[in-house]
């Protein structure tokens, strides 16, 4: 069975960032809780940033994937989510129908975010992702689940691996600067780190 080691990078979806009704609901919640305008504005900024972490409000801007023990690989970063998702679906179609997906926090983040993005873009969810979403215990190896509460960077450092140069928190700024090659490089670094972890387990 093939193991696909993958990672995605996300930013707040433009449609959600500009959704005034959604932001008004959040603002009213904050106004009921806080009095100082600067505190409210600070939390509003965090709310928008946090959209990149939720399946319903995150835009996928990069995907990297490697078939373990193979030269098969995928890597694209783009502001065009529809095109990016279509390319990844085409690549997955060329791989085994029901691969095991491997990653770090993919059970709670990457897979649900990808599926939601496909639905939002009105693209058929790749069959292999459908299987992974409905029966994750059988088709997902998530090292974050095995080692809960540990960030990928800290975990790889503990294993004596080279630390990552940037974090996911830097992606939004790189996206605004249209530094897609940097986003892709960061995404690829994450996959490399997970490959190293996977190799420690499987040899």
Residue ranges covered by each domain of the chain: 3-14+53-202
pLDDT at 136 over 80: no
- Cα–Cα distance for residue pair 188/6, rounded to 1 Å: 9
CATH fold of 3-14+53-202, please?
Answer: Nucleotidyltransferase; domain 5 (3.30.420)
- Cα–Cα distance for residue pair 113/119, rounded to 1 Å: 10
% of the chain with per-residue pLDDT over 70: 90
Residues in the chain: 203
- Cα–Cα distance for residue pair 152/144, rounded to 1 Å: 8
Q: Which residue has the tokens 């249209």?
A: 178
Tens of pLDDT along 75-127? 999 999 999 999 999 999 988 667 899 999 999 899 999 999 999 999 999 98
Tens of pLDDT along 51-84? 677 888 899 999 999 999 888 999 999 999 999 9
**Do 200 and 159 meet the contact criterion of CB atoms below 8 Å apart?**
yes
* Residue whose C-alpha is closest to residue 94's, from 61, 139, 127: 127
pLDDT score of 19: 67
pLDDT score of 87: 97
- Cα–Cα distance for residue pair 70/79, rounded to 1 Å: 28
């Amino acid at each position: 069975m093939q193991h696909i080691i993958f990672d995605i990078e996300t930013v707040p979806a433009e449609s959600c960032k500009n959704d005034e009704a959604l932001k008004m609901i959040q603002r009213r919640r904050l106004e009921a809780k806080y009095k100082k305008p600067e505190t409210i504005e600070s939390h509003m900024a965090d709310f928008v940033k946090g959209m990149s972490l939720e399946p319903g409000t995150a835009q996928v801007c990069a995907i990297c994937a490697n078939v373990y023990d193979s030269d098969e690989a995928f890597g694209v970063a783009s502001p065009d989510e529809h095109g990016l998702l279509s390319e990844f679906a085409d690549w997955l179609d060329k791989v085994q129908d029901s691969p095991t997906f491997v990653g770090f926090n993919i059970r709670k983040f990457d897979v649900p975010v990808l599926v939601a993005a496909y639905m939002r873009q009105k693209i058929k969810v790749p069959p292999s992702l459908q299987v992974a979403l409905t029966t994750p215990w059988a088709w997902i190896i998530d090292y974050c689940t095995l080692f809960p509460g540990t960030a990928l960077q800290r975990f790889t450092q503990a294993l004596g691996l080279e630390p990552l140069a940037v974090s996911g928190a830097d992606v939004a700024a790189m996206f605004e600067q249209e530094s897609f090659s940097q986003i892709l490089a960061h995404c690829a670094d994450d996959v490399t780190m997970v490959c190293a972890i996977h190799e420690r387990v499987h040899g």
